[in-house]
Structure 1
């Protein structure tokens, strides 16, 4: 019979490489005629090889449906099942035919599932990176494609790290613990990284090799010049650096410069040579510069902002920066005045052999307003606390400058990760002339805990401090807001205690409300202070650092000094000369009670210090933890009432108890800091920090100079506990206090504080980590300074110099920690050995 096929066991239809499955027993002889297919009613579908409910429905086979045999229905059913990606082998067979009904059997073979991947020959960090890229979980289907992709990803990752001579094998084995599960062993032989032996550049006549090689930021040849830089060959970095090389030509006027050809030649298993052939072309200059389409601003104003003149060397990078990317770019003058949809398109035309005519076409568009200001990510800080720091409001004209300023203010609050503050525009509607502004924030832990201990004078000195920077006093009775204290209103509350037992104890408490009343940025600060200190015993004083039999013998409890103090301050933002300024006014009072105290001007009595202070400050820094750009200047004046001017007494003849009952002085201070990024990287820029500081403590009556508020200079700028109020000024490379009055004449009283100081600092700072968990940066510094007892001794160029390196770590719970090594270059008269090599530690403050 023509076209007749006799299936003695089971008739099998399969496609896509499926292998026929054979029944174990003879069930029925079925005659199928391809020349005359017949239609049956599907009466049943049986699955062999797995327990899957609804598999027939997935295949498109429904009981009772008509099915043609032979026909396309079974072919499509097998294809649908393969598309699920769950099976490695599928076939469908006719089980039996009864009258006009047919019964089918599906034979399936499941794919293996992934139990585990073992990476052999990789570091844990490398393994984690590959896992992130592949995202293969337990139970994933193991296919040849999956294994090929895994191998490719491992190879790609290693190439990105400079490993090119790698051997990678993937071995699949059954998991003895789980049926149908397999373990993949990825065996990696990394060998050595490929390094660049030489970079050979040909065709460069106008640009030196060194300048072109320096433009290639991540592709460096092995040499002494690049000793501290990686010379690994990484293809991705090399491809990027070829663009950087051409950009360097463009910056110098060579607009037509191109890389004609390049090649990477492996000269050994560990080395390659790079050959680059360039064609420089002509050097171009800007010729005529014209503006078209500008109606809001005249051409003269725009040209002045562009800052490019006829005859300047052509520089495409600088042109782009002046049009779009710089803070004072031309586009910003439009976008800061509402013209969100404005566009500036430079059109270049070659004039002659070496000139470029520049026509800048301006599409100004209409002004846009802000529709909504959206805040996301504030889990602890209340929304009104955030909104009051913003400079953008619904209904106002769009301003790019105000958005950037708002992001800076949010960063300076300290409650959010500065690196993740991401203002963006959403729902931009050009027809309606509106846009929404969204600020995406990531909260960070900003509270600090201080726990420290030390050994001094035969006793352990311990201190504990707590600072809560997002405190909420109005929720102090709302237990639901405790985390562990009420939070969210941006207030600062701090407590600190220090003691070495019954001989020295101090307590301090402070509170700051940044928005008093909640409507204006007027701050209120309140602080309280108390300390109690006993003196040394006479035997200890007579034998300096003597070893007493009992530590308690070191102290004389009959000698006592008690110190009380409080201060109240009000601060506000001022808008003149610009709105970066703040003013802070404070009144403070300290009382010193002395009993048999041999370390002061008199032994028994009281001294009082009532003063008022004003601080004017201008700060435009972008990040308080690692500042990349901006400046900070402050000027302060603190003074007491001029008691001596109101009295007819001759204080020169007065007893000290009367003379110093009320302390009088005037204190002037200036500080200037400038932060300048030296590289264009926003993530990890090299920053130059420069600062200058001056301080002067004056008097109204030369016979009544203040014994308080003077300056002690040198070292780390920190102290343990002091006998009376003074200000510590650090200068690295010298011992603590060793530069106090170092520039004064020999007539300066022994142990007295300085009345005048100056200090200058240059630092190069490089961030190692700007993550939320820890801000870490390294630094190198040059420093110089000195202090004087009298104003007449002041010599501005008589400075003690030092240099060194350091490291800073800011941990959210512990604040700023750091270590510096400094070397003091100059000898201090009468104080041998205080300079030279010195280590200094930083706890919660900067120098």
Structure 2
């Protein structure tokens, strides 16, 4: 009996571990004579949230194990529990001892779990940022480590934002409604931002203080006009990066030995710092002889020509790296585009004398890599054959970096995947000389719905449009493919209807197959459309209907007439109508010469006009037919259709009709000809040109400059048989809610819609136009769910009736700002505010400040 009491007493000594925190591992000492026992049972007790068997295993003790009491096994078990950091109390005791068998009881008090975090002193947006960083979810065990980590992360977060003296206090209090649960109150006092009061340089002679200050992007003095748009807060990490930027600029100008000798940061009572930076500029160096070793595929002189660095040029380490690896035409890309995936070029200084550095380019070519497998991942809706037919990298071919980049571009152009997340991953196998290519894609919704309705002018106006951009015709009769529509083959199906009752109706259907036959990138398209426009009672006419298309009588975006800025009741007049029926068929082909960015497109279309007492065109009564043929040559190399960063897009088009007046033996100068006779078959030739170039202005490829030029000319075969419908309508947002039937609507922001279109006898008569645009864009978000970017623009343009009046320099100028939003289900939308600088004769209110809404188009 006495023996058992002694043993139990010794185990009570072991339980002193509960007096120590996790941060202070207990130092255990024993007294008494050690004796061996066999563990017969291990029981875990306490207020537990986890399985006792799992908690018992954490001790490292097992039933049947021999242990010494007192001994290291028990103390090691206690230490393990403390090291896990999950328990606030640990006790190990012997419930009983029978002979050499011992029955252990492990008492554990688990640390409390989190009920909720309450942030004090932070804004909602700041709380969201902090919560994502500290990652403490409800139900998480609250350990000292997690609390310390949360405090550290919060401080680091605000230090990065310039709040250098942030104080964080975390208080833990019990949750009365949940046993062993706690609330954490996190109080954050950001204090004021630490700013730079003075920034001074010492030892610099090559660059002035102002110049060096410009090299520092994130560390700038406050109170200086030159730094008005630059950050003045002091952030240690950004400051260290700026120091590196200074040395990089020295290196780029030949001072390869330049370094920061010292820098001192002095804190001031007003929460600012004074910075002094000492620089040793060293000597200026120049490139000497450049030799190539290890190269067998390309001769040294050819590589030197591609390097474009000559002996005597200022030594520029950044330029050297760009010309070797980073530029599109970099030397290393010669190898990468020819299968040498494992190649490498290492520039080595072999001789430095006076101010000259001789370089030896050590080339490791390796063996050519052949593409083994091409793996497609992430296509949840688009069928794999639609993707694979766009690939420029196919199994069995040599690896080609340029074709890999081109493939990414082609997949972006499909519009079915998020262009920002197309991620090709090469998986090389140097032993086999092969590489697998894994294309990781993220599908994005790109079908679009247009549904609108409203009440105006005493009538209901509504439209419904559906555009399915990844349709599958071959699966129409496959019931399993309707989810809710058959999709995945990359075809485009569009349906649209618009009506305001008896006065205006419009219906259209179009279908595009981008790979006719499925083997070649030859597109096929077909469209059908029908519109009906009735007249209004003559009692509602007011003044000259075309004195100003938007200031007198015109057409709203819904297609019905209005008067000035107010609507008037309309009455159907069966004596006035215009009915148009049309069909077109097109065929496009991707060319391989001059390069495979070129495309050729041809289209045949037919329109039939039925007019009765329709006073708004040169032709007012009768039927007219338009059989036209269009050819277009285009080159499109833009990288991303939603937010373009690089590339260009040029289009040259010609649309023409047969020259009926040359062979029909009709004297069209005769005033006795009726409209039906004169315009039975419309004739014209229409030339258009559009070109745009995109150039990124920063290394992050976010700030993009777009430059665009366009123009058009509408000609005729007989001046007495000019087309009554084909015109260029210039000005405003560029949207033609009301169809002008053959006319092309061109936007010029800052002016009212159509206000830059010349009038002849009160009718729009724009036969020539040209326009110039500059646009600076910056993205706000580039997510699959929404692409949003802001822009500033400057543009100029004008239109003329006759070629003799054409003046390419007599342009109307404007400038402004805007935003574009692309939502997959609705397409592209936007709003611009533009200011027109030039007055329009006869329309004094056409220029000035104007808002423009954009739907389904981009300037």
TM-score (norm 1): 0.93
Query: Does 2:398 align with 1:431?
Result: no
Tell whether the 8 Å contact from 1:4 to 1:33 is kept in structure 2 after alignment: no
Structure 1 contact 741–788 (Cα < 8 Å) conserved: yes
Residue ranges of structure 2 left out of the alignment (5+ in a row): 21-28, 544-552, 554-561
SS at match of 2:52: coil
What is the aligned partner in structure 2 of residue 762 from structure 1?
774
Q: Which residue of 2 aligns with 1:673?
A: 692
Contact 1:13–1:93 (Cα < 8 Å) also in 2: no
Measured against aligned partners, the alpha-carbon deviations of 1:815-840 in whole angstroms (never above 9, x if no partner) come to 11111121222222333232222221
Of the structure 1 ranges 591-600 and 37-46, higher mean CA displacement relative to structure 2 is found in: 37-46
- Segments of 5+ residues of structure 1 without an aligned counterpart are 21-31, 743-747
Give the secondary-structure state (helix, strand or coil) at the position aligned to 2:714.
strand
Q: Is the 8 A contact 1:560 1:597 kept in 2?
A: yes
Secondary structure at the aligned position of 1:196 is classed as strand
Task: Please show how residues 710-749 of structure 1 align to structure 2 within 5 Å.
Answer: 710-722=727-739, 724-741=741-758, 748-749=760-761
CA distance in 1, matches of 2:669, 2:713: 23
Secondary structure at the counterpart of residue 297 of structure 2: coil
Residue 557 of structure 1: aligned partner: 574
Match of 2:26 in 1: none
- Equivalent-residue separation in structure 2 for 1:322 and 1:549 (angstroms): 64
Instruction: Give the SS at the match of 1:278.
Output: strand
Match of 1:88, SS state, is: strand
CA shift at 1:358, angstroms? 2.1
Per the alignment, residue 644 of structure 1 pairs with 661
Asked if the contact 1:633/1:672 (under 8 Å) is kept, the reply is: yes
In the alignment, is the contact (CA less than 8 A) between 1:13 and 1:92 conserved in 2?
no
**In the alignment, what sits opposite 1:109?**
109
Describe the SS at the equivalent of 2:129: helix
Q: State the number of aligned residues.
A: 826
Please state if 1:53 is matched with 2:72: no
Paired with 2:767 and 2:137, the residues of 1 have a C-alpha distance of 69
1:377-388 to 2 correspondences below 5 Å? 377-388=378-389
Secondary structure class of the residue paired with 2:261: strand
**RMSD between aligned alpha carbons?**
2.6
Q: Report the Cα offset of residue 9 of structure 1.
A: 5.6
Structure 1's 346 and 10: CA in aligned 2 closer, same or farther, altered over 3 A? closer
Shift of 1:83: 4.4
Q: CA–CA distance in 1 between the matches of 2:594 and 2:44?
A: 84
Would the alpha carbon gap of residues 226 and 450 (structure 1) be closer, same or farther in structure 2, given more than 3 Å must change?
Answer: farther
CA distance in 2 between partners of 1:193 and 1:548 (Å): 52
Partner of 1:12 in structure 2? 12
Q: Map of 1:179-258 to 2, 5 A cutoff?
A: 179-222=179-222, 223-258=224-259
Cα drift, residue 56 of structure 1: 4.6
Matching residue of 1:27: none
The alpha carbon displacement at 1:257 in A equals: 1.4
2:34 corresponds in structure 1 to 37
Matches within 5 A, 1:427-466: 428-452=428-452, 459-466=459-466
Structure 1 contact 459–551 (Cα < 8 Å) conserved = no
Match of 1:813 in 2: 825
Residue in 1 that maps onto 2:792: 780
2:502 and 2:572 in contact (8 A); partners too: no
2:657 pairs with 1:656: no
Kept after mapping to 2: 8 A contact 1:285/1:312: yes
The answer to whether the Cα contact below 8 Å between 1:13 and 1:75 also exists between their aligned partners in 2 is: no
Shift of 1:205: 1.3
Q: For 1:424 and 1:750, locate their aligned partners in 2 and report how far apart those are by CA, in whole Å.
A: 62
Contact 1:540/1:546 (<8 A) preserved: no
| In the alignment, structure 1 residue 338 sits paired with structure 2 residue 335 | no
1:395 corresponds to which residue?
396
How far has the Cα of 1:707 moved from its partner? 1.4
Corresponding residue for 1:702?
719
Equivalence for 2:806: 794
Q: Is the 8 A contact 1:263 1:274 kept in 2?
A: yes
Q: Contact 1:769 / 1:775 at 8 angstroms: preserved in 2? A: yes
Aligned partner of residue 14 in structure 1, secondary structure: helix
Contact 2:498–2:505 (Cα < 8 Å) also in 1? yes
Deviation at 1:643, TM superposition (A): 0.6
> Which range moves more in the overlay, 376-385 or 196-205?
196-205
Q: CA deviation at 1:319?
A: 1.0
Between the aligned partners of 2:746 and 2:60, the Cα distance in structure 1 is: 83
**1:803 and 2:815 aligned:** yes
**Which residue of structure 2 lines up, in the alignment, with residue 262 of structure 1?**
263
Alpha-carbon contact 2:198-2:275 (below 8 Å) kept: yes
In 1, the alpha carbon distance for the partners of 2:637 and 2:62 equals 73
1:3-35 alpha-carbon deviations (Å, 9 max, x no partner): 999578664242894449xxxxxxxxxxx9956
Deviation at 1:754, TM superposition (A): 1.2
Could you tell me how far apart the structure 2 residues matched to 1:737 and 1:104 are? 92
* TM-superposition CA deviations, 1:382-403 (whole Å, max 9, x none): 1100011110100001000000
SS at 2:677 equivalent: helix
Contact 1:13 / 1:91 at 8 angstroms: preserved in 2?
no
Contact 2:472 2:488 (8 Å CA) reproduced = yes
DSSP-derived class of the 1:132 partner:
helix
**What are the superposed Cα offsets for residues 708-750 of structure 1, whole Å, 9 maximum, x if unpaired?**
22101111111221454311111112111111138xxxxx443
CA-to-partner distance for each residue in 1:433-468, whole Å, 9 max, x for gaps? 100011111111111122345676565543222111
Give 1:130 shift. Answer: 2.6
Secondary structure, counterpart of 2:763 in structure 1: coil
- Describe the shift of the 1:650–1:147 C-alpha distance in structure 2 as closer, same or farther (beyond 3 A): same
> What secondary structure sits across from 1:621 in the alignment?
coil
Matched with 2:275 is 274
TM-score, length-scaled by structure 2: 0.92
Q: Equivalent residue of 2:541, what SS?
A: helix
Task: Quickly say closer, same or farther: Cα 1:432–1:789, change in 2 above 3 A.
Answer: same
Name the CA shift for 1:140/1:119 in 2 (closer, same or farther; >3 Å): same
1:359-378, aligned counterparts within 5 Å?
A: 359-378=360-379
User: Helix, strand or coil: the match of 2:247?
Assistant: helix
Rounded Cα–Cα distance in structure 2 between residues aligned with 1:704 and 1:85: 92
Quick one: distance in 2 between partners of 1:9 and 1:34?
11
Task: Report the counterpart of residue 856 of structure 2 in structure 1.
Answer: 844
- Structure 2 counterparts to residues 292-371 of structure 1, below 5 A: 292-349=293-350, 351-371=352-372
Conserved 8 A contact 1:19-1:91: no
Deviation, 1:694, is 1.3
SS at match of 1:12: helix
1:595·1:604 contact (CA, 8 Å) conserved in 2? yes
Alignment-derived partner of residue 131 in structure 1: 131
Out of 606, 610, 624, the position equivalent to 2:623 is 606
Tell me the distance in 2 between the aligned counterparts of 1:367 and 1:4: 79
| Aligned-residue offset at 1:320 | 0.6
Is the CA contact 1:672–1:693 (under 8 Å) kept in the aligned structure 2?
A: yes
- Output the CA distance in 2 between the equivalents of 1:757 and 1:844: 23
